[in-house]
Each structure stands twice: as structure tokens, then as C-alpha cells.
Amino acid sequence: MRTAGSGMGIRRRLGEALAGAVRSIGVEGEMPDLELGRAKDPKLGDYASPAGRKLAQALRQSPDQIGERIAATIAVPESAAAVEAVAGYVNFRLTREWLQRLVAEVASGGETYGATDAGHGERVQVEFGSINPTGPMHIGHGRGVVLGDSMCRLLEFTGHGVQREYYVNDQNTQARRFGASVWARMHGQEPPEGGYTGAYVSELAEMAKRDLGDLDALPTEEAEAKVRQYAIAIMVERIRESVARLNVRYDEWFNESRLWQEGLPQLAIQRLRASGFLKERDGALWFGPALEEEDGLGEEVRSSKEDRVVIRSNGEPTYFASDLGYLLSRFERRHFERVVEVWAADHHGYVDRLKAAAAALGLNPERLVIILHQMVNLKEGKMSKRAGRFVPLDELVDRVGADAVRYFYLLRSPDTTIEFDLELALTQSNENPVFYAQYAHARLVNVEATAAERHPTLPDHADVSLLVQPWELDVARQLAFWPEVVEDATRLLEPHRIPYYVHDLATAVHRFYHAGNETTEYRVVVDDAALTRARLELCRAARHTLRKALDLIGVSAPERM
């Protein structure tokens, strides 16, 4: 049989068999989506497809008949499932023998179970968490960081060449305001209008005075630039430390200023100008796909709200100019085949603009994938430093722990706005659902240790046919689902599917364990060495999968709790 480690999940293999059967009963042309998925009710089986109902019209037969014909025709791979046609559905029930074999494969395959080469080494850059390095990360930023990092883990697990990038805005307006604020504090002045006022700014000013030495010899502009670079370097380092506490690392911290050193925004502007996407108006340089057609269309089009400034009337470029160069950097200079950006929803208005820019530059906008996640709001209202409603990410990690923080964020779909209640998060941290899963893992480790103590010599080979109890097969069944969970989470870039799976697997594990609490003969470690060995095999398989699943969401798998 094909190995479990190939990553080709049973759902996919059953789907192929189903499609083959549908062909052989006379369906031609484009294959409709047969919607093979998990059966609603375990009584009906493990997987189900409404194929009979789907095809009734095309084949002019009753759904029942078609279902029966498919069931009679289908060649189920590896005898993995029993097939039954019910009410126009084709139901599949994984067989005990197949589940037993799966356990053996997963136990020996370890944490590679579910891994695939589906990505064929595709070079994917994921850019996430890139806040202006002008202040500490808060709990809203944490969501994007955890989301982006987990996507990377999923992509790596499925055969993609992943690069994690943080885009450092070190020369934009905010960066300059930040630098000017530190500069002002160094000279005993208040930060300028719209500047940064936090205590950390004064602290940075003190550090700069100490570390940068005598700046007065330099021209003011040069000195201020030095201070800005210094302050931003410190903030970047702090951000690096903050995300590291969440088990997140970056491969590249890419400075915006580097783009200009490499002449990329300049090149992009040149190219867009040549192709007619740029126009001067009111002393500024504008980008707008419609501009080339504006002549004769009047003021309405000329002042189109769709346009964006690339170079301000004062000659300074906007972030958009940098982003044009950034596109070239990633797709043309660094040859990424796909770029995934993780943004908070307040940037959604920029999505179309950036995609239009990519197209205008001659790049395929479909290779630019922008994932938006909704905001994290405090229960007390919008986060605001000035109003004192600001929860630093570090504080949350201090008080709740990295694992609980990651699990908390990833348990929600990116489309859901999070109303954050810090008090509630703290009181509930002791009953955080992450512990449920971690406890299952720790239990498995413990049970395996106990087995090793009680049975110093167990056979190398496990007779998995001894795994016959329903709660044992339920664990195996959950293992069978793992590859498809990985596949869906990666394809849709939806890491939140993983913690839900983790919960289901942990439940199966806890039940399996608990059977031994109620009846001694159902324990893993029993007098019978062969039986112990078989159940140990199940423990190993579950442990590997649980550990890997937790790893994909960046959560630790403790050995004891």
C-alpha cells in the first residue's frame, strides 16, 4: 500500500476512486464536484458524497439508483473502506484493518505523517507582522504575527520553500516622526506635533545620548538621521524579542531604505511612467490605471478617488512608491513565485491598489496573495495609547503564556473580530483549551514511560490487529483525518483549522486513556506484552500527530504537566 507518509490522505484517494466510478457509469465531460467529505453522523460512516443526488438530473436516473451503481462499481483503494449507498449518498466507512495498518505506519513514520510535497518547492514569501518600528507591539499585532507564522509552518510542512519576512519601514513619514521625537527628547523638548510621546521615547533618547556620542559636530539633518536609525534599530530588536517569545522568527528583516539604495522604486516609477500609468497633477505624481484614458473625460476622472500619490508635491515619495519597488524586489530580484501578505483589516482598502500596481508593473497579481484578518479590539473600546487603552503583547505573554496566546488567536477564523477582555483572558488562562491538548500529549508520554518500566522487553513489532476496541479505533480514525486537515488549512491558508483538529484528536486520546481508568484491562500497560505493545503503537502514532499538529501552530507539546 502507499505509505501514510506520502501525505496523500484517504479522503483524496477515496475521491479519486469515486470519480473513477462515476466515469465508469457513464458520466462524461467535466466532472462535477462530488463533495466528498466527512459524514455528518458516525452511524452513516466516515466519509460521504451526495454523488447520486448530484448526478440524478444529468443521468436521468433516481439518486438511489445512481448511488447503488457507484457503490457497486467503485474500486476502493487498499480496501480502506466499506461502501454503502443510502438515499443518493455514497457512504464510506473506514475498515478496521485499514485503520490498524494506518496506526502502524504513523507510529513508524513519526512526525512526517501528513507532510507532503504538494508545494513542489514553490518559493513563497510570507510577509507578516510588519508594523512601523516606532513602538512596541500590542495585542492586535500579535494576531497577525501568530497567523503569519502558522501559515509558514503549514507551507513548510507541505513542501514549499518559505521565507518569513518583516518589512521594516525605516524611512517613511512615521519613522521620521519617530526619529524627530527621540531627537526632541534628547534636547529636552517636547516631541513635534503628531510625534511619539511614550516613556520609551525618552528612554531611547537617553540611550542615544549615551551610545551615539557627540552629534553636535554633525549637521542637524545628518545627526537626526543617525538618531532615527539608532532608535529604529533598537525598536526592531525589541520587536524581534517580542515575537521570539511567541516562538516566531524571521528569515529576513528587509529595510524599506534598501529598496531605494537598490533603485527599485525608481525603476518601477520609470516603468509605470513609460506605460502611461503615471501622471503629474497638482505638483504631485499620481498612479491610476484609468489615467491613460482620462484625456477629454473631464475633471471627474482627473480627480478620481482611485488614484494614489506616488511622489508628493514636496518631492518626497510616499509608502506607495516604496511598495512599487518592493514588488519588484520580491518578484523580479528575489524571484518569489508567490508572496503572501498578512494584513489587519484596516488596510483592506489598499488591496486593490497594490494588486493593480502589480498588474501595471507586468507582474501576475494572482501571485500576490493578501490575507486580511479582522481587528482585535479591547472590550473597553478601541485600543488607544492616548486614552490609556493599550495592552502590550509582551504583557499578555507574561501573564498568560505563549502557548495560550497562540492558541487563543488561532482558535478564531481571521474573519472574526476579537473583542479582547484582558481580565477574562487572565482568569481563564488556567482553563485554556490549549491545556486540554497538551495534557493529552503529556499523558501519552507518561503512559509510554510506564510501559517501558513495566515491560523492559517488548517485541519490536506490534500486532496492530489487537487494536479492536471502539475507543482505540476512534483514535486511529482521527489520525486518518489529519492529512486532509493539513491540506485544507494550507490550501485556504487557514491555520485555525489546526487547533480544532487538535481538540478532536485530544478528545479521542483522552477517551482512549480513560477506558483504562474505568476498566483495568483496557489500560495501555497490561500484563499481556503483545497487547501492551499494540496499544503502545497507537500511543506513539497519536503522540507524533498531536505533537506535529501543535508544532504547526507553534504550541509546545510538554512531556509532563
Name residues contacting RNA, limited to 295-334 (CB under 7 A).
305, 308-309, 312-314, 318-320
Site for RNA in 95-154 (CB under 7 A): 132
* SS3 call for 326: helix
- What is the separation, in whole angstroms, between the first and last Cα of the chain? 38
The number of beta carbons lying within 10 Å of the beta carbon of residue 190 is 10
For the bound state, the minimum distance from the C-beta of residue 431 to RNA, rounded and expressed in Å, comes to: 6
Q: Find the shortest distance in angstroms from Cβ 44 to RNA.
A: 4
Shortest Cβ 493–RNA spacing (Å): 12
The grid cell for 544 is 507524533
Handedness of CA 225, 226, 227, 233 (dihedral sign): positive
Residue placing its CB nearer to RNA in the complex, 306 or 463: 306
Q: Which of 326, 307, 325, 309 is nearest to 317 (CA)?
A: 309
Give the residue with the Cβ less far from RNA, 5 or 365. 365
447 versus 542: smaller Cβ distance to RNA: 447
Kindly state the smallest distance separating residue 514's Cβ from RNA, in Å: 4
| Rounded Cα distance, 47 and 15, in Å | 10
Stretch of residues binding RNA (CB under 7 A), selected from 143-151, 198-206, 263-271, 340-348: 340-348
Q: What residues numbered 173-232 form the site for RNA, per CB under 7 A?
A: 173-174
Q: Judge residue 518's burial from the number of C-beta atoms within 10 Å of its C-beta, 0-12 exposed, 13-18 middle, 19 or more buried.
A: exposed
Contact flag: residue 345 with RNA (CB under 7 A): yes
430 contributes a contact to RNA by CB under 7 A: yes
Closer residue to RNA, CB minimum distance, 211 or 431: 431
Q: By C-beta, is 457 or 517 nearer to RNA?
A: 517
Strand partners, 371: 342
Q: At its nearest, how many Å lie between RNA and the CB of residue 349?
A: 3
Residue 193 cell numbers, joined: 506635533
Nearer to RNA, 101 or 404 (CB): 404
Alpha carbon 391 to its chain centroid, in Å, reads 23
Shortest separation between residue 356's beta carbon and RNA, angstroms: 13
Rounded to an integer, what distance in angstroms lies between the CA atom of residue 558 and that of residue 445?
A: 9
Restricted to residues 229-258, the positions that interact with RNA (CB under 7 A) are none
State which of residues 271, 439, 458, 530 lies at the interface with RNA (CB under 7 A). 439
Residue closer to RNA (CB basis): 101 or 231:
231
Task: Please give the Cα distance from 204 to 210 (Å, whole number).
Answer: 10
Distance CA 422, CA 409 (A): 13
**Please, which of residues 483-512 interact with RNA by CB under 7 A?**
494, 496-497, 500, 503, 506-507, 510-511
Residues paired with residue 393 on neighbouring β-strands, in sequence order = none
CB-side neighbour CA atoms (13 Å) of 191? 20
In the complex, least distance from residue 222 CB atom to RNA, rounded to whole angstroms: 21
401: how many CB neighbours lie within 10 A of its CB? Answer: 17
What is the per-residue DSSP string for 231-278? HHHHHHHHHHHHHHTTT---SEEEEHHHHHHTTHHHHHHHHHHHTT-E
Considering only 225, 515, 529, 530, the residue that binds RNA (CB under 7 A) is 515
Closest CA to 259 of 326, 174, 318, 311: 326
Contact window for RNA (CB under 7 A) among 16-24, 102-110, 344-352, 540-548: 344-352
Q: What does the alpha-carbon distance between residue 476 and residue 107 come to, in Å, rounded to a whole number?
A: 11
Binding mask 155-174 for RNA (x = CB under 7 A): --------------x--xxx
Site for RNA in 22-81 (CB under 7 A): 35-41, 43-45, 48, 50, 53-54, 57
Asked whether 531 and 466 are in contact (CB, 8 A), the reply is yes
Q: Under 8 Å CB-to-CB from 50, ≥6 apart: which residues?
A: 34, 35, 63, 88, 89
By DSSP bridging, strand 376-378 and strand 418-420 are: parallel
In a 3-state reduction of DSSP, which class is residue 93? strand
Stretch that binds RNA, among 181-189, 279-287, 333-341, 549-557 (CB under 7 A): 279-287
Determine the 3-state secondary structure of 399 from DSSP: helix
| Minimal distance, residue 210 CB to RNA, in Å | 29
Which of 53/226 has CB closer to RNA? 53
User: Could you say which residues in the range 410-429 bind RNA, by CB under 7 A?
Assistant: 411-413, 415-419, 428
Instruction: Work out how close the CB of 449 gets to RNA at its nearest, in angstroms, rounded to a whole number.
Output: 7
Q: How far is the CB of 384 from RNA (least distance, A)?
A: 10
Element of type H or E holding 199: helix 199-212
Selected range binding RNA among 102-110, 217-225, 244-252, 407-415, rule: CB under 7 A: 407-415
Using the minimum distance from each CB to RNA, give the nearer residue, 40 or 121.
40
Smallest separation, CB 74 to RNA (Å): 15
Q: Find the binder of RNA among 31, 218, 297, 561 (CB under 7 A).
A: 561
Q: Which stretch binds RNA (CB under 7 A): 210-218, 266-274, 355-363, 372-380?
A: 372-380
Q: How far is the CB of 161 from RNA (least distance, A)?
A: 27
Piece of 17-25, 258-266, 363-371, 430-438 that binds RNA (CB under 7 A) = 430-438
Characterise 348 by phi-psi region: left (phi > 0), alpha (psi -120 to 50), beta (else): alpha
H-state helical runs in 311-416: 319-328, 351-360, 393-400, 402-410
According to DSSP, residue 338 is labeled E
Nearer to RNA, 50 or 109 (CB): 50
**Total interface residues for RNA by CB under 7 A:** 92
